[in-house]
Structure 1
Amino acid sequence: MCNNDAKPTMYEGRWAIASAVSLLSMVLLLDGCAVGPDFVKPEAEIQENWNEKDDSRVATQADVASQWWRAFSDPTLDQLIKLAYQQNLPLQITGLRILEARARLGIAIGQQFPQQQEVFGSATKEGVSENAPNSSFRDRNYWDYQVGFDAVWELDFWGKFRRDVQAAHASLIASEADYDDALVSLTAEVARTYTVIRTLEVRIELTRKNAELQEEGLKIAESRFRNGVVTELDVAQSRTLLESTRASIPQLQSGLRQAQNALSTLLGQPPGAIQTVLNEKKGIPTAPAEVAVSMPAELLRRRPDIRSAELAAAAQCARIGIAKADLYPRFSLFGEIGLQSSSQGGVQSNHAHMDNIFDSGSFFYSFGPSVQWPFFNYGRIENNVRVQDARFQQLLVNYKNTVLKAAQESEDALIGFLKSQESTTYTQNSVQAAQRSVEIALVQYREGAVDYQRVLDTQRALLQEEIRLTETRSSIATNLIALYKALGGGWELRQGQPIIAESTLTEMQKRTNWGRLLPPPSPKPEDLHPLLTRDVPVFKKPYW
C-alpha cells in the first residue's frame, strides 16, 4: 500500500516541471558551440576564356540556351526529348531520391528535439517470496498500476545535431543537383542516339545506292565477258565487291535496330514502341554553323555535377563536426511524470485502487540532468574524426577534378564541332571527285581503255568517301550535343514542372502518409547553392 503522505502534491509537481522548463530554457540560451570546421567553398582553377574564342563561329553570351536541341530545327527530336523527360525511368528514380533526402532532413531536424519519449502504462501482478527481505512487513501479493510519460533529451551543446542538419540539408540540395545532372545527361543521350539512328539510316541508303551502281558495273563486266573481250576475272572481281557491299547492309540494319531499342529504353518504352515517331526519315540533324557558349567560369554555376560535388563536400564537412562532438561530454535532461497506485489484499481492494489511480496522491515525477563522457574510447572516436576528415579531403579533390573534367569536356566538344565543320567541306569535295572518277572509269572500261581493277578501285573509294562524309556530318551534330551537355544545358526543362509523376504520387500517398513532403516542389535556380552554416537556428520546425 502506497503512503500518500510521502508523495508530492500536484502543486509541487507543477512547480517541479516549471523549474525544469526554466532550467532547460537557460541551457538553450547558451546555445553551445558547434565543433568542427565550417564549410568554405573550395577554389578551383579554370581558364578565363575558351581557346577557340577568336573563331568567328564561336559567340559568347551570358547563358546557354535552355532548350538547345531546338537549334537543330527537328520537331521529331523535340518530341522525343519531351517524351523522355516525362517517361524516363532512371530520371524518375533520381526524383524519388529527392523525396528520400527530404525525409532524411526531417529525421535530422527531429533529432534536435527529445530523442526518446514514450507514454507508458502497465498493470502488474506481483508475488513476493516469503524469504525476501522485509517480506513480513508487506502483503506478498498485490497489483501495481502505472500510467505516465517519460522523455530523454540530449542537449545539442556541441552542435552535433545542428551539424547533422547541415549535412542533411546539403545532401538534399545535392540530390536536386543530381536530378538536374541526370536530366542534362538524358537530353544529350536522347539527341545523340537519335543522331546515330539518322546516321545509320543514311548509311544504309548510301550502301544500297552503291550496290546498285556496282550491279551496273557487274552487268558491264558480264556483257564484255560474254563477248570475249575480257576474262572471267573481271566478273568475279565485280561480284566480290557487290556481295561485300550487300553484306554490310544487314550489319548496319542490326546497329540501327539496336539504336532504336536504346532510344525506346530512354523513353521508358519497350522495344519497337517508338517506330511510329521515327517512321519519317529526315536525315542527319543539321547543326547551325555558329554556336553560342557562356564563359568558362559559368561552368561552376551551370554544371549540376559540379554543384553536386561541392554539396557532397559540404555535407561531409559537417560530418567532421558530428564525429568531433563525440569527444566531449554529452549533456541530457531526463524526466518522468505519471500516476501510480498499488493494491494489496483481495479483489475488492484491487478495484478500489484502480479507481484511486487518478487521485492527486497517486501523482509522481522525476527529472534531472545526466552527463555521459566516453573517456576511455581507445582512440575509436579520434580515428572516426580522422576517417571523416579524410573523406572530406577526398571530396574536395574530387570537386577540383570535376571542374577540370568539365573544362576538358567543353574544350574537346567545341574543337570537335569546329573541326568537323571544316572536315565536312573537304570531304564533300572528295565525294564529288570520287563520283566523277567512277563515271570516267566505267566509260573507259566500257571502251576498253582501262581494266576492271580501275573500276573496282573507284567504286570502293566512292563508298568509303560517302561513308566518311556521312560520319563527318554526324560528328558535327554529336559534337554540338556533347558541347551543350558539357556546358550543363538542358536541366531548365524541369522548371515549373513536377519532379514526380502524378500517378506515382497518388500511389505513394495511398501507401504511406507523406504529410507535406508531397508533392516535392521543383527547386528554383536561386535555391541551388545556399547552405546552412554556423547561423543555423537552435531549432528548425520539425517535419510532421
Structure 2
Amino acid sequence: MTSIRAAAPLVMLLLSGCVLGPDHKAPEIALPLKYAEGSVKSNGDISETAWWQSFNDRRLNALMKQGLDQNLSILEALERINQAEANVVVAGANALPSLTLSSQVERSGARGFRGTNDTTPRTQATGNLDVSWLLDLFGRYKRNKESALATLDQAYANVDAARLSLLSSVAAAYIDVRYYQERIAIARSNLKSRRETLELTRLQLEAGAASRLDVVQAEGLVNSTVADIPGLETSFRRAAHRVATLLGQPASSMLSDLQRGAGQPVARINTKTGIPADLIRNRPDIRAAERALAAAVADIGVAEAQLYPSISLGGSITPSYTRLAGGSDSHLLSWSFGPALNLPIFDGGQLRANLSSAESKAREAYLTWKDTVLGAVEEVENALAAVTRDGRTVAALRDTVRSYDEALNLSTASYRDGASSLLDVLDAQRSVSSAQANLAQAIQQQAQDYVSLNVAIGGGYAWGKGPTRVAAAARTAAAQ
C-alpha cells in the first residue's frame, strides 16, 4: 500500500507531463523618453481617435467610414482571422483522445457453372470502435496550441494594421483629389486672365501701341496654360479612381460625386504624439510582429519535444455477426488495448536541425519586431518634423501669392496706360501662377504630413469598432 502511494505522484507527474522550450516574454528595446520635437507626456490609447475629423470635411468623414466597412484588404484580413481560429481548434484537437466508429453490412455468395456448385449466401455485419490518445508528456501539443493562439492574435493585429493603412490611403487619395481640383481651378482662372491680356494686346496692336511679337508672346502663354489643364484633369481622375477602389467600388463610380468641388483639407488641431514607448501598444504592426515572435518561440518547444519519446494509448472493439442462408449464425466480439512507445534513435540529424531552424526563426522574429519598432519611431520623427515646419511654409507662400497678385494688378494697369511693356505683365502672370501652384502643393503636403503623423502613431484604426481584442495567448498564459 505504501509503494502504491509513493508511486501515485510519479504517475500523475508522468501523465501531466512537462512543457519543453522557452516561455515567451515581452521583448524589450531601448527607446528615448521623448521625440526630438515632442513632449514627455504619454497619449494613452488612441486607437479610437478619429483624427481625420479635424479637417472639418464631412465628405472625407463619410469616405473613411465607408472604407472601414467595405475595403477588400480589410475583408481579406478578416478571413485570415477565420483561418487562424480554425487552426487553434486543430491544434487543440491533437492533444485530445480521438474516437472513430465505423460499420459495414455485406451480403455475399457465388453461383457456380460447368459443374461447380453454388456457394451458400451469407450476411455479415461488422463494426469497429477505435480510440487513440497521444500523451503529451513534453508539451508538444501545448506549445503547438500556444503558437496557434499567438498566430490568431497576429491575425487580429493584421486586421487593425489593414484598417490603419486604409485610413492613410483614403485620406491621402482624397487630399490628392482636392489638390488637383484646386490646381485645375487655378489654371482656369489664370487662363481667363491671360486671355484677357491677349485680347488687350490685340487691341494695343490695332492702336499701334504693341507689336506682333507682343501678341505672339501672349498667345504662347495662353496655349501653355491650356496645355497644363488636361494633365491636371488626368491626375484628378486617377486620384478619384483610387478612392473608389479603396472603397471596394468600380474605379469610375465616384467621379460625378467627387467632381463637386470643395476646398483643400486643412487640419486645424495639433496632434499629441505621445512618447516612443506608446508605439508598442498603439501600432498594430508592432503588435503583429510581437505575436509572430510569440508563435516562433512556442514553435521551439514543439521542435524540442519531438526529440523525446512519445507514448500513445490505443484500443479497439470490433463486434461481428454472420448469418448463413441455412439459418445458422455466429457472433464474435474482438478487442485490443495497449500503449505504444515511439522512441527517436537515429534520424540523420533531422530533428536537431528542426530545433535549430525553430530557434533561428525566433531570433529572426525578434529582429523583425525590433526593426518594426525602430521604423515606427523614425516615421513619427519624420512626420513630426514635417508637420512642425509645414505651417511656416504655407504662411510664407500665402504672403507670396498676395505680393505677386498686387504686382500683377500694378503691371496690368501700367500696361493699359502704356507706361510698361507686355513682358512685365506676362512675367507677373507667370509669378502669380507659380506661387498659387506652390501654395496649393504646400497645403497638400501639410495635409499629407498630418495624415502621416497620425498614422505613424497608430491612431484611429479601431474607430467605430470598439476596443482591440485582448491577446488570446496572453489570456491563456495568465490563466495558467
Q: Secondary structure at 2:179's aligned position in 1? A: helix
> What is the CA distance between 1:291 and its match in structure 2?
2.3
| Pick aligned residue for 2:434 from 450, 464, 468 | 464
> What is the CA distance between 1:285 and its match in structure 2?
1.3
For 1:90 and 1:278, the matched residues in 2 are separated by: 23
| Pick aligned residue for 2:44 from 55, 62, 72 | 62
For 1:241 and 1:435, the matched residues in 2 are separated by: 17
> What is the CA distance between 1:162 and its match in structure 2?
0.6
1:328 aligns with 2:308: yes
> What is the CA distance between 1:366 and its match in structure 2?
0.8
1:41 aligns with 2:26: yes
Instruction: Say whether the 8 Å CA contact 1:174–1:307 is kept in structure 2.
Output: yes
Instruction: Say whether the 8 Å CA contact 2:130–2:317 is kept in structure 1.
Output: yes
Partner of 1:18: none
Q: Secondary structure at 1:335's aligned position in 2? A: strand
Query: Residue deviations 1:298-327, cap 9 Å, x none?
Result: 111011000000001111111111112221
Query: Residue deviations 1:418-442, cap 9 Å, x none?
Result: 2111111111111111112212222
1:375 aligns with 2:345: yes
For 2:413 and 2:361, the matched residues in 1 are separated by: 73
Q: Give the partner amino acid of 1:399.
A: W
Q: Give the partner amino acid of 1:407.
A: V
Query: Residue deviations 1:523-542, cap 9 Å, x none?
Result: x43613752677776xxxxx
| Pick aligned residue for 2:169 from 189, 206, 210 | 189
1:31 aligns with 2:16: yes
> What is the CA distance between 1:215 and its match in structure 2?
1.1
Query: Residue deviations 1:110-135, cap 9 Å, x none?
Result: 111125734344659699xxxxxxxx
1:281 aligns with 2:251: no
Aligned residues: 463
| Pick aligned residue for 1:387 from 357, 377, 388 | 357
Partner of 2:132: 152
Partner of 1:225: 205
> What is the CA distance between 1:69 and its match in structure 2?
1.3
Partner of 1:528: 471
For 1:39 and 1:316, the matched residues in 2 are separated by: 9
Partner of 2:397: 427
For 2:342 and 2:138, the matched residues in 1 are separated by: 13
1:179 aligns with 2:149: no
Partner of 2:252: 272
Q: Give the partner amino acid of 1:152.
A: S
Match runs of 1:331-342 below 5 Å? 331-341=311-321
Q: Give the partner amino acid of 1:525.
A: T
1:366 aligns with 2:346: no
Q: Percent identity?
A: 30
For 1:276 and 1:240, the matched residues in 2 are separated by: 33
Instruction: Say whether the 8 Å CA contact 1:34–1:163 is kept in structure 2.
Output: yes
Query: Residue deviations 1:131-176, cap 9 Å, x none?
Result: xxxxxxxx99988653120122211111111111001100111111
Structure 1 residues 318 and 61: CA distance shift in structure 2, 3 A: closer
Match runs of 1:21-420 below 5 Å? 26=11, 30-53=15-38, 61-64=43-46, 66-115=49-98, 117-121=100-104, 123=106, 145-275=125-255, 277-288=257-268, 290-341=270-321, 347-348=325-326, 352-353=328-329, 356-357=330-331, 362-420=332-390
Partner of 1:454: 424
For 2:54 and 2:351, the matched residues in 1 are separated by: 56
Q: Which runs of at least 4 in structure 1 moved beyond 6 Å after TM superposition? A: 124-127, 139-144, 532-537
Q: Give the partner amino acid of 1:87.
A: Q
Query: Residue deviations 1:202-226, cap 9 Å, x none?
Result: 1110111111111122122222222
Q: Give the partner amino acid of 2:298.
A: A
Q: Secondary structure at 1:492's aligned position in 2? A: coil
For 2:269 and 2:418, the matched residues in 1 are separated by: 46
Unaligned runs of 5+ residues in structure 1 are: 1-22, 128-138, 497-523, 538-544
What TM-score results when the alignment is normalised by the length of structure 1? 0.79
> What is the CA distance between 1:280 and its match in structure 2?
3.7
What TM-score results when the alignment is normalised by the length of structure 2? 0.89
For 1:60 and 1:116, the matched residues in 2 are separated by: 54
Structure 1 residues 60 and 32: CA distance shift in structure 2, 3 A: closer
Partner of 2:455: 485
In angstroms, what is the RMSD of aligned CA positions?
2.7
